[in-house]
Amino acid sequence: MKKGALLLFIFLFGCGHKDPATPVHISLTDSNHSLKITGINPVILNDINRDTVKNWQSLFAIYRLPADTDMKDYQPIQPGKYQLKDSAVVFTPDTSFAKPQTYFLRYYNYAGNKSIWDYISGKTTKGQLHYIDLIFKP
């Protein structure tokens, strides 16, 4: 009986402490030459923008989506320039987005899942990076 009560407590504790994630939105701008990224916590944006290195790729990176989607984790990062404009980040690739090509933005959520239930259910392991892939086509 003690085991069941403990699991019930962990389940209820985990469900009650999950923080809602800020949704990230993307849209093509400048005649499909740039990608606008919104919905990111302004504190995070300002911290990265103050950094002298300005490593925007540590928060999100843009990749070409391969025909074999099983290979998507092995793609090189799309080179380009990130700029903070108002409360959005605008990515302009070094080489324009190709029209028939599909791309994806990988948004790394460093806050991760804070629910104990995510660890118990196997959705999260210690040290695992959390990310969301957003697919777009020019």
User: Which of 16-20, 60-64, 75-79, 129-133 has the lowest average pLDDT?
Assistant: 16-20
pTM: 0.70
Give whole-number Cα distances, 50 to 44, 84, 93, in Å.
10, 11, 22
User: Which of 31-40, 55-64, 123-132 has the lowest average pLDDT?
Assistant: 123-132
Split at pLDDT 50, 70, 90, the class of 9 is: very low
The full length of the chain comes to 138
Q: Of residues 121 and 134, which shows the higher confidence score?
A: 134
Mean pLDDT of the chain: 76
SS3 24: coil
Backbone φ and ψ of 113, nearest 5°: -90, 125
Contact between 89 and 44 (Cβ < 8 Å): no
Contact between 37 and 27 (Cβ < 8 Å): no
Residue 74 has pLDDT above 70, yes or no: yes
